[in-house]
Structures are given as C-alpha cells and as structure tokens.
Structure 1
Amino acid sequence: MAAVTVLTSLPVFLPGAANGLISSEFGWSSVRMGAILAVYWLASLSGAFISKRAALPPVVERTLAVALGATCLGLLSAAAAPTVGLWLSSAVGGFTYGYTQPHTNALLMRRCAPRLRAFAFGLKQAAVPAATLLASMVMPTLAGPAGWRPVFAGTAVLCGVAAVLFARTVPPGSRPVTAGRDIVPPLRGDVFLLALSGAGFFGAMVGNGLGGFLVLSLTSRGASLSVAGAVATAGAALNIAVRLIAGWLIGRLPRATWAALIAMFAAGVAGTVLLAHSSLTLTTVGALLAYGGGWGWAGLLHYAIGLPYPGREQRATAYSQMGVSLGAATGPMACGYLFTVNAVAAWWALTAAGLAAMCCVAVARRRAARV
C-alpha cells in the first residue's frame, strides 16, 4: 500500500522537483507550474468524491492495478509531449491518487490486526513525504546528465511494472475483501466526519504550504540554498519518523489517539509561529516543528475517521481525503498570493489554519462517542 501511495503521488512531486528545469526550457512562469500542481489536488478531490460513492470492489488489487496503469500512461505523456502531457499527467495522477487512497485505507483496516492498524496507516502515509524526498534526490541526480524526461519515463515504467504485479496478486476466483458488502448501509456526512474532514483540510493547507514555500522563505531571509534545502530535507525526514512513531504508539495506546492528534497540530502551530520570525535558528526549529507536527498527523487522521465505521472505512476515509485534497490545493495558492504581499503574513495564515484544525479535532473528539 505504501508503494501505491508513493507511485501515485509522484505525478505531483516530480514536476515540483523539476520545476526549474521545466520552466527554463519552456519559459513558463511559476504561476503556470503552480496551476499544474493545483490540478493534481483538485483531481484528487474529485477522485475521493467518486470513491465515497462507489462500493468496494471484490478484488481491490485490480482497481489499484488499473490506477497504476493510468498513472504510467500519464507520466509517459508528460515525458513525450510536456506542454499537454504535464497537465494530463497531473489530472490523471491526482484522480487515481484520490480514488485509490480510500481503497487502500479499507484494505489496511480489514487485513491488519487491530494492534497493527494505526502503524500500517502511519507507514502508508509516511510514503507521501518519502515520495517528496525521492523526487527531490532523484531529479537533481539523474536529470543533470540525462534530462528530466527520462526520469519521468523511468518512473512510468515503475508504475507499469507495479500495475502488472498488482493485477497478478489475486488469482481469479479469490474471495472478495468483504462479505456482504452490498448490504452495507450508505454513509452520510455527519458532524464527526465533517469535523475530521475539516481538520484534514486545514492541516493540508499547513503541510503543503510549508512544502511549497519553506525553501523560498529561508533563502529570501539570507540563508543559502544548500542550508535551506538541508532544513527542508531534515523536516521531511522528521515527518516520516513522526508518522511511523505515532502509528506505533497508538497501536499500543489506542486511547491516546485524540490527544496525539491535538498535540501534533499544536506543535505545528508553534512551528508556523516561529517561521514568522527572522532568526535563522528560530525558523529552523519552527520548520522542524511544523513538519513533524503540522504535517505528521495524516496517517492518524485517516485511521481515526475510519475506525468507528466497520465495513464502511473506504467511504469514511473518502471524506478525510477530500478535505486533505482541497487543503493541499488551497494552501499553496493562498501562500503564493500572500508571499507577494508580505512573506510573514503567509506563516500567520498557516498558523490560523493550524488552530482551526485543532478546533476541528476537538469537535470530532466530543462527537466520537456518539458515532
């Protein structure tokens, strides 16, 4: 499941890592590249919305195989005809990501032992910052001698191979993932679902705004590109560790779920407050807090929203995925505008978003016993 998350998220992280190369080759502005990235998350929103309305298929692995095949074709089109293919890759990749995430969430909830579920969610969601690190390392390493197109093509080949493997994972006639799935009652949005979806929306604003503008913020204050890159890399590595540790901890202390979510959002708020200062030391600490807490909640949030709905985990986590996708598109766009007005204002806006996420979790916590 982590591999599916990595591969289907690369259509947004590879263009981000190759932003400078692509823009210089075609003379594109940062606004155009930002729009390409936003298309991914808006398409992800539509994919999650459709997933919310769809029944879980008898063999989920085959759905994942189709999604990986579509991602493969999108990346190949980006390498072959970038002016059109990058838009297509972003749209197709975003849709498959948003559509498959609730499916993989349902698989984890139903196939993992209860004690391992939270860790499994953390591992799967840790694949997202891992994909960011992978794209950031692979692109400068391979794109220099070979160009960025072969990197896209090579990634497409990986998606194609994974699609074949998933298609052959379950032989014909195997038992469906769920029994009696057709009699599961429909899931309608209530306060609990909407509150955690709101937490995903505001939290993703923080995480993706941070990922898109941290390096720019640090370099604009006098830090070298290498220092800014090192801070961002350290933050992403910490983010991976937090997602894994949080999942492991909640697997052993399930009652700590809500306290852990609130604590992570609180750490993220402290981080974005520090990012508003001019001191490099304070902004470095702030970046680590914001990455670790303000973006470390993802696995735990999806786990918490799916847990009260046995048999309907896919549809429940589709709500949180829609919130995350919308926030992922809104955060960078809002930060991009605010940075043109006042760079500090962007971090205060993300601080407000983090506080709003905390409030949403508090509401969901109070409603949890009634679900």
Structure 2
Amino acid sequence: MNTLVSARDHAATSSTGRSPSGLPTAAGVAAVTVLTSLPVFLPGAANGLISAEFGWSSARMGAILAAYWLASLAGAFVSKRAALPSTIERTLAIALGATCLGLLCAAAVPAAGLWLSSAMGGYSYGYTQPHTNALLMRRCTARLRAFAFGLKQAAVPAATLLASMAMPTLAGPAGWRPVFAGTAVLCGVAAVVSTRSDTSAGRLATARRDRVPPLRGDAFLLALSGAGFFGAMVGNGLGGFLVLSLTSRGTSLSVAGVVATAGAALNIAVRLIAGWLIGRVPHAAWAALIGMFATGVVGVALLTRASLALMTAGALLAYGGGWGWAGLLHYVIGLPYPGREQRATAYSQMGVSLGAATGPMACGLLFTVNSVIAWWMLMVAGLAAMVCVAIARGRGGRT
C-alpha cells in the first residue's frame, strides 16, 4: 500500500533526473480497488452459505448486492461535487477504514451488518474511484496511463476470482465469517500503512486543483456515462446469471464454474492488454471501445443458444469484450479534462454504478419468465453502449 504514495517515485526522480513512470502508484491503486470491491463480491461468493444459515431468499441477497452499487452511485455523485484533496492517500485510508468496519459488522451481526457492509463499502468504492483516476492521470507517464487504468480495472474481476476461491478454500473448514473478518483486517492494515505514507509529492501533484474552472455535464460526458451504464448492465448481469443460465440448461455446476472462471480470467487479460496497446497506439482508443462492445453483443447473442459449445464461446466473448472496456472508458473520459480528471470520471463512475445495480435486478426479474429474454435485453444494452460511444466520439472525443 505504500506504493500509493509517490515518495518512492519522487526519490527516483531525484536520483535519475527523469520523471518516474508511476507504475508503483498504479499497483497501489489496483490494491485499493481490490479491497474496496470485496464487500460486494464476498457476499456473492458466500451467497449459498449465508442463505442456508439464515434461510434468506436469493432476492434478499440480490438486494444486498444492489445496495452496494447504489451506495457506489451516491459516492461517485458526492465525489463529482467535491474538491480534489491535496493528499489523496488520506481519502483512500478513510475509505479503507470504512470498508474494514463494514466487513467486521457483516461478520459479527450479519442480519444488519451485511447491509451496512454493502452501504459503507459501496460508498467508499464509488467515492474513491474518481480520486484514484486523478491519481493515475497525474502520476503516470502518458505512455503508461492507459495500462494503469487497465490494471486498476482488472482488479475488479481479480477481486471476483479471489472471493470465489476464498469461499471453498477457507470457508469450508472455518466458515464464511472468518473470511470476512480476515479481509477486514487486511483493509485495516492497508489503511494504517496509507496514513503513515509520505505525501509531500502528492501535495505537489494536486496543488493546481483550484486553478481550473468547474466541470459541467455536456454531451461528451453524458454519452460516455451512458456507455458505462449500459456496459455495466451487460457485465454485472453476466457475472450474476451466467452460472445460473448454464446450470438451468443441464450443465453441471462444476463445468459452469469453469466457464465463468475462464471468462473472468480472460476479462482480466483483456483489460491489461487493451491498456498496454492503447498506451502505444493512442489513436486506436475509440475503435477499441466500439470493438469491445460489439464483441460483447455477439457473445451475449450466443448465450441465447442451447448448445454448450456456443454458450461457452458466448461467455468468453461477452466477458472479454462486453466487460473488458472499463479501464479504457475511464481513461478516455478523463483525458480531455486535465486538472479535472476526478470530476470527469465521476460521471462515468456514476453510470457504471447505476448500470451495475440495474443489470442484475433486471436480469433477476426476466429470468423468472425466460432466461433467453434476459440475454436479449443485455444484447440491446450492449448495442446502446456502442451508440453512446459513437455519439461521444462525434462530439469531439479525442485521445
């Protein structure tokens, strides 16, 4: 976590005379993203254990997960209106502390604590995402920025994988509560380390925050926020209902789990590779965004088929393209607003958070009627995301 602080980067600058790449900062931001994402992915992975213990319905657990994303929406909205602090690390430390407290409450008194954990964790995640976007824009070199955003967003599916592995590995012998408590301890340690970091270079990086005019919503920002909304509907709907869709059509749970895990792993790879490529070919960012959403649409369409082979191919395409765009979207929306990256990316984060809550809820309702209808709905959402990107590009979007 001390990589969040630019003291090491500052030292590198002093000794070599060259500007640091910002890779340590990017790695630290990715770690924060993993930790603040776990309050939604741990309950999802422990869904069966928690529901069996308390007799809860899947609808109740779905509402708890949706509460995380709605709280994230609120956090991003507040972040949009807040001034960027002179020391971003202190903001991240507070967020990590709040996440720690929420997870401890979930482990101690689940009936109320799981709701509190979703609310505190979601708000912390939504509020800090625009801050860490600004951190990456200001401390990473131009060549590294796109990759840094990809690394940060790859942390989200990485958190999904960690939560999915932790439950069968650790919760089996120890129970799900110690897993939550252990994760809370990690968040608490990270918060303490962050507060002790040297922040002198951080103050220098944000010293000009008051010299830029306030940011107003325009067609460019709103269009890319819409792309985030529709794209997140696809990604989170896929993450919530792919396994259910496969098993409902006769696929074994183990095979369905392998397909979902492979999709999540591919999603991580796509986010990293896309960031690396755009860092070297910046003018390809818009084509890459549209291509990713188009690939996701094809993948979701294949999920309407009954064949396991076609559904597997569809899952990989949908995960890779339909959910691989996140880092690139935030990078593209923040780039034209130097000095105002936090407020610009708050718009896209609000869209993503709202879509992350809407997609699973809509899929849950439609799955009770016909699972195929749910996938068609997500396919339409993917097409709408493509249209939003095209509108933003036409409104003068450039990298």
TM-score interval (norm. to shorter): over 0.9
State the distance in 1 between where 2:99 and 2:271 align. 25
The answer on whether the counterparts of 2:36 and 2:125 sit within 8 Å (CA) in structure 1 is: yes
Q: Any residues of structure 2 matched to 1:152-301 within 5 Å, and which? A: 152-171=180-199, 175-301=203-329
Match of 1:10 among 31, 38, 56: 38
Which residue is equivalent to 1:126?
154
1:28 counterpart = 2:56: yes
The answer on whether the counterparts of 1:60 and 1:177 sit within 8 Å (CA) in structure 2 is: no
The answer on whether the counterparts of 1:59 and 1:177 sit within 8 Å (CA) in structure 2 is: no
Match of 2:368 among 334, 340, 344: 340
Shift of 1:171: 4.8
Over 3 Å counting, the alpha-carbon distance change for 1:296 and 1:100 in structure 2 is: same
Over 3 Å counting, the alpha-carbon distance change for 1:280 and 1:97 in structure 2 is: same
Shift of 1:169: 1.5
Which residue is equivalent to 2:17?
none
Which residue is equivalent to 2:108?
80
Q: Deviations over 1:86-142 (max 9, x none)?
A: 000000000000000000000000100000000000000000000000000011110
Over 3 Å counting, the alpha-carbon distance change for 1:174 and 1:339 in structure 2 is: closer
The answer on whether the counterparts of 2:220 and 2:397 sit within 8 Å (CA) in structure 1 is: no
Shift of 1:162: 0.4
State the distance in 2 between where 1:179 and 1:206 align. 39
The answer on whether the counterparts of 1:59 and 1:176 sit within 8 Å (CA) in structure 2 is: no
1:37 counterpart = 2:37: no
Structure 1 SS opposite 2:85 = coil
Structure 2 SS opposite 1:55 = coil
State the distance in 1 between where 2:117 and 2:348 align. 24
State the distance in 2 between where 1:296 and 1:118 align. 13
The answer on whether the counterparts of 1:42 and 1:325 sit within 8 Å (CA) in structure 2 is: yes
State the distance in 2 between where 1:117 and 1:172 align. 22
State the distance in 2 between where 1:174 and 1:288 align. 40
State the distance in 2 between where 1:353 and 1:124 align. 24
1:312 counterpart = 2:340: yes
Shift of 1:168: 1.2
Amino acid paired to 2:86: P
1:101 counterpart = 2:129: yes
Structure 1 SS opposite 2:306 = coil
Amino acid paired to 1:332: P
State the distance in 2 between where 1:250 and 1:283 align. 30
Over 3 Å counting, the alpha-carbon distance change for 1:286 and 1:369 in structure 2 is: closer
Which residue is equivalent to 2:24?
none
Amino acid paired to 1:119: F
Amino acid paired to 1:226: S
State the distance in 1 between where 2:201 and 2:255 align. 55
Which residue is equivalent to 1:46?
74
Match of 2:331 among 283, 303, 307: 303
Shift of 1:172: 6.9
Which residue is equivalent to 1:350?
378
State the distance in 2 between where 1:9 and 1:276 align. 30
Which residue is equivalent to 1:61?
89
Q: CA RMSD in A?
A: 1.2
State the distance in 2 between where 1:276 and 1:188 align. 41
The answer on whether the counterparts of 1:42 and 1:94 sit within 8 Å (CA) in structure 2 is: yes
Over 3 Å counting, the alpha-carbon distance change for 1:246 and 1:370 in structure 2 is: closer
Amino acid paired to 1:285: A
Shift of 1:173: 9.3
Shift of 1:339: 0.3
Amino acid paired to 1:123: L
The answer on whether the counterparts of 2:88 and 2:202 sit within 8 Å (CA) in structure 1 is: no
Shift of 1:77: 0.4
* Structure 1 residue ranges, 4+ long, deviating more than 6 angstroms after superposition: none
Aligned length: 371
Shift of 1:179: 2.1
Shift of 1:177: 2.7
The answer on whether the counterparts of 1:7 and 1:68 sit within 8 Å (CA) in structure 2 is: yes
Give the structure-2-normalised TM-score. 0.92
Over 3 Å counting, the alpha-carbon distance change for 1:158 and 1:282 in structure 2 is: same
Over 3 Å counting, the alpha-carbon distance change for 1:66 and 1:127 in structure 2 is: same
Give the structure-1-normalised TM-score. 0.99
Shift of 1:182: 1.6
The answer on whether the counterparts of 1:121 and 1:299 sit within 8 Å (CA) in structure 2 is: yes
The answer on whether the counterparts of 2:36 and 2:121 sit within 8 Å (CA) in structure 1 is: yes
Shift of 1:184: 1.7
The answer on whether the counterparts of 1:209 and 1:335 sit within 8 Å (CA) in structure 2 is: yes
Amino acid paired to 1:353: A
The answer on whether the counterparts of 1:61 and 1:170 sit within 8 Å (CA) in structure 2 is: no
Amino acid paired to 1:242: V
